[in-house]
Amino acid sequence: MSLHLHWFLPTYGDSRNLMAGGHGSTMTGDRTADLRYLKQLAGAAEINGFEAVLTPTGQWCEDAWLSTAMLVETTETLKFLVALRPGLTSPTLAAQMASTMQWQSKGRLLINVVTGGESIEQRAYGDYLAKDARYERCGEFLDIVRRLWTTPEPFSFNGKHLRVDDAFLARRPETVPPVFFGGSSPAAGAVASRFADTYLTWGEAPAAVAEKLKWIRGLAAAHDRTLTYGIRLHIIARETSQAAWAEADRLLAGLDPARVADAQAALAKSESEGQRRMRELHGGGADYSQSRDARSLEIHPNLWSGVGLVRGGAGTALVGSYDEVADRIAEYAALGLDHFILSGYPHVEEAFHVGDGVRPALARRGLLGTSENTTEPVRGAFLPDLEPTPAS
């Protein structure tokens, strides 16, 4: 088995601390994510053997397409998992943009479809459809886009939400960009099973993830389709377990209780089923109010729900020694997960922790395959010192 390891490109900024917001709320970091920093981050991801970087989409971050397009020439092999919101652009234009990116990057584009879980944010973009209708439109959108990528003749489509007449692309991609898709609601599952190549889930305990994968596999089988699967997790990996949990304690101690309360009040209003599941992992912040010990938020060995106290979306992190983190990744891989989209605070530094420690541990377990680079990362101008930040 050869896993695909991916990293994250925080176009809203970076920080040594947990950042509040996301998933419809404002999020900023004290490290500005200008082009200079994004180049450094992309370089750190490439040096440490990550296959691709995921870019977010939403009001709180920079545009995913423009941000990644500016990084193509500064990298050599790194792929870009670009967030795309169906319905905010025409399907023909989106297919054309993807085809251009795929051509100019020499096949380094992956697509992350984000239907939009919050109506209030969608309305800011001029989209007034309700959640289930957005998923209906998303299915039509992906149907049109896939036909444009694969069909040389002009075609017409007349759906409930979208219509095109005599649509075609002058340049179709030689390699169709793989489509990554996440969602925990029945409406999301219906679309994923028909149009996704890789189904993504946020990090829950392995038993809960296994149930979700079983659900999607059953839906896909009904359409005679087989998908691959991935998981989105944060990571705090250090040489020792004690050092990793000391860093988690530091991150937790840096949270303002009022900020936690505000974040949880906002996330409690979310329409997202996935967000509801994330909040349940830490009791909507109740456990945090009772204890400031990071271990109190450990919901499965080495799986920490503390990130979700203030961050919307993916709210769990793998915390532990390099070997412990590799063991947890192996546990998830045994469920059938191939893609691991990871991130850490700050993203440049944590990329080197993964490259230095976790990747060799995974290689020793036979989880990276012969095609992966399992040698020591080349240190350059990115990070002269990787000593763990002391607890404070």
199 three-class SS: strand
Q: Exposed/middle/buried for 286, CB within 10 Å: 0-12, 13-18, 19+?
A: exposed
CA distances from 342 to 68, 279, 317, 354 (A): 18, 20, 9, 9
80 three-class SS: strand
Could you report the per-residue pLDDT of 87-126, keeping only the tens digit for each? 899 999 999 999 999 999 999 999 999 998 789 889 999 9
Mean pLDDT in the chain? 91
| Joined tokens for residue 101 | 């990116």
**DSSP assigned state of 176:** P
State how far the Cα of 390 lies from the Cα of 292, in Å rounded to an integer: 17
- Using DSSP, how many helices (H) and how many strands (E) does the chain show? 14, 13
- Nearest alpha-carbon partner for 139 in 87, 61, 184, 95: 87
| Joined tokens for residue 34 | 């200008």
Please give the average per-residue pLDDT across 142-155, as a whole number.
Answer: 98
| Strand-pair partners of 237 | 320
| Strand-pair partners of 336 | none
Q: Exposed/middle/buried for 222, CB within 10 Å: 0-12, 13-18, 19+?
A: exposed
Q: Is the pLDDT of residue 384 over 60?
A: no
Using the structure block, give the residue that is written with the tokens 């959640």: 131
Sign of CA dihedral 281, 260, 67, 93: positive
**Torsion angles phi and psi, residue 218, rounded to 5:** -65, -40
State how far the Cα of 377 lies from the Cα of 352, in Å rounded to an integer: 8
pLDDT in the model for residue 376: 44
CA 375 to chain centre: 25
Could you report the per-residue pLDDT of 4-33, keeping only the tens digit for each? 999 999 999 999 999 877 666 677 889 999
Question: HSE-up of 326 (CA within 13 Å, CB side)?
Answer: 22
State how far the Cα of 185 lies from the Cα of 164, in Å rounded to an integer: 28
pLDDT in the model for residue 28: 81
Using the structure block, give the residue that is written with the tokens 């729900």: 305
Please give the average per-residue pLDDT across 41-45, as a whole number.
Answer: 98
pLDDT in the model for residue 167: 98
The residues near 129 (Cβ < 8 Å, ≥ 6 apart) are: 87, 122, 137, 161
H-assigned helices in the chain: 35-47, 64-69, 91-104, 119-124, 131-150, 186-195, 206-222, 241-253, 257-267, 273-281, 286-290, 322-333, 347-353, 359-364
pLDDT in the model for residue 289: 56
62 neighbors 11 (Cβ within 8 angstroms): yes
Based on its alpha-carbon atoms, the radius of gyration of the chain, rounded to whole angstroms, reads 20
| Joined tokens for residue 336 | 């059938």
pLDDT in the model for residue 24: 65
pLDDT in the model for residue 291: 61
Could you report the per-residue pLDDT of 273-324, keeping only the tens digit for each? 888 898 888 887 765 655 679 999 999 999 999 999 999 889 999 999 999 9
| Joined tokens for residue 338 | 């191939």
Tally Cβ neighbours within 10 Å of residue 266.
17
pLDDT in the model for residue 390: 38
pTM of the model: 0.92
Question: HSE-up of 222 (CA within 13 Å, CB side)?
Answer: 12
State how far the Cα of 339 lies from the Cα of 332, in Å rounded to an integer: 10
